[in-house]
Amino acid sequence: MTDLKGKFTTIFIDADDTLWQNEQYFRNAEAKFIDLLKDYTGPEGVQQMLWQKQEENIPLFGYGSKTYLIGMTDAAMDLCGGSLPDNIYYGIKRIITDLAFHELEIIDGVVETLEALQGRYQLIVATKGDLTEQMGKFRASGLAKYFHHCEVMENKDEKNYLELAAKHNLDPAEILMIGNSVKSDIAPVVNIGGWAIHTPHDVVWVHEMMDMPQSERIIEVKNITEILKYL
Ligand SMILES: [Mg+2]
C-alpha cells in the first residue's frame, strides 16, 4: 500500500460532493426546470438545451447557481420562441432560489476525517465557483475550524493549481489533492506532478465526466474515511 505519511505538509481538499452534498441539488433543480418547460418540447429536448446553454455560459460567468440562472433563462427563451412568459421566468427564479439556499448536508465521515487530519497537516479547501456562494457554504458548514484557508478558484485546471501551490510556497510534487471529480481534482494535479486521492460520489455532473488517468500518484478509495489509511 502506498504510504504517504510524512510526504506532505499541506493537503488540498475539494468541497462540493467531497465535504458536502451538492450535485444532487443541481439535479433536483434540473428536474424542476424540465417539468416547467416540458410542454414546449420533450423532456430530453429541454435537458439538452439546458446543458448546451450552461456550457456556453460557464466560460463567460464561471460556476455556480447564478450562472445556472442565466443558462436556464437562455434555454427557456429558445424553447419559448424568443419571449418569456411570466410564469416561466418566475418559475426559474424560484428553482434557483431554492437551489442557492438549500440546507448544507455534510457527507458522512467528513468530520471524523478532518478531526484526524487536523494538526498533522495544513488543510486548505480548494473549490471552484462563485465566491459569495462558496464562501457562504464554507462558513455555514461548520468545518472552517479545521482549515487553514479556503480558496475559491476560478477554474480547476493545471494553471490554477500551479498558482495555488505558489501562493502557499509549495512545489507541485508536494501537493496532495483530495476530491470527487476526476476532471477537476485528480487529472490536473497529477499532470503538474502532484498526488491525488479520489473520493468518488455517486452523482457526477456531466460537465465533470472523464476517465481516470493512469498514474501511480493516484489513490482510489471508496469513501473519505478510508484516506486515513494512507495519511
Ligand atoms: Mg467536487
Each residue's pLDDT tens digit, 54-104 = 999 999 998 889 999 999 999 999 999 999 999 999 999 999 999 988 889
CATH number of this structure's domain 10-20+106-229: 3.40.50.1000
What's the 35 CA to ligand 1 centre distance in angstroms? 26
104 CA → ligand 1 middle, Å: 14
224 pLDDT tier (thresholds 50, 70, 90): very high
The pLDDT assigned to 209 comes to 75
How remote is the CA of residue 85 from the centroid of ligand 1, in Å?
A: 35
Reported pTM: 0.90
Q: Confirm or reject CATH 1.10.150.240 for domain 24-100, answering yes or no.
A: yes
**Centre of ligand 1 from the C-alpha of residue 204, in Å:** 9
Q: Which residues pair with 122 in a beta bridge?
A: 10
With vertex at residue 165, the alpha carbon angle to CA 162 and CA 166, rounded to the nearest 5 degrees, is 85
- pLDDT tens for residues 177-200? 999 999 999 999 999 999 999 999
Provide the 3-class DSSP secondary structure of residue 186. helix
**Residue 143 CA to ligand 1 centre (angstroms):** 16
Q: What element of type H or E holds 10?
A: strand 10-13
pLDDT (0 to 100) of residue 18 = 97
Rounded mean pLDDT, 17-39: 96
**Is 227:113 a contact under the CB 8 Å cutoff?**
yes
Does residue 202 register a pLDDT over 90?
Answer: no
Q: How far is the CA of 180 from the centre of ligand 1 (A)?
A: 5
Beta bridge partners of 11: 123, 176
pLDDT tens string 37-59: 999 999 999 999 999 999 999 99
Distance CA 91, CA 93 (A): 5
Higher pLDDT, 209 or 149: 149
pLDDT of 25: 94
Cα of 88 to ligand 1 centre, how many Å?
30
> Quick one: angle between helices 23-37 and 43-61, nearest 10?
130
Helix 65-79 × helix 23-37 angle, to 10°: 20
Tell me, in angstroms, the distance from the centre of ligand 1 to residue 16's CA. Answer: 4
Query: How far, in Å, from the CA of 220 to the mean position of ligand 1?
Result: 15
The grid coordinates of residue 120 equal 498533522
pLDDT tens-digit series, residues 164-177: 999 999 999 999 99
- Tell how far the Cα of 205 is from the centroid of ligand 1, in angstroms: 9
Q: Ligand 1 mean position to 98 CA, how many Å? A: 20
- Could you tell me the residue ranges of all domains in the chain? 10-20+106-229, 24-100
What's residue 131's pLDDT? 93
Q: What is the pLDDT of residue 171?
A: 94
Q: Which pLDDT does position 123 carry in this prediction?
A: 97
Distance of CA 223 from the midpoint of ligand 1 (Å): 13
- How far, in Å, from the CA of 134 to the mean position of ligand 1? 12
Given this model, what pLDDT does residue 82 score?
93
Residue 5 has pLDDT above 90, yes or no: no
Q: How far is the CA of 83 from the centre of ligand 1 (A)?
A: 35
* Strand residues in 100-191 grouped as ranges (E): 122-128, 149-153, 176-179
- Residue 18: which residues within 8 A CB-CB, separation 6 or more? 107, 178, 179, 180, 185, 199, 201, 224
In terms of Cα–Cα distance, which of 114, 126, 89, 88 is closest to 12? Answer: 126
**Which residues share a beta bridge with 221?**
none
- Is residue 144 within 8 A of residue 138, CB to CB? The reply is yes
Mean of the per-residue pLDDT values of the chain: 94
Work out the angle at residue 104's Cα, subtended by the Cα atoms of residues 205 and 124, and round it to the nearest 5 degrees.
75
Q: How many A from CA of 4 to the centre of ligand 1?
A: 22
Q: pLDDT at position 126, please?
A: 98
Ligand 1 center–CA 202 separation, angstroms:
11
Tracing cell 482549515 back to the chain, one arrives at 147
* Residue 206 clears pLDDT 80, i.e. is over it: no
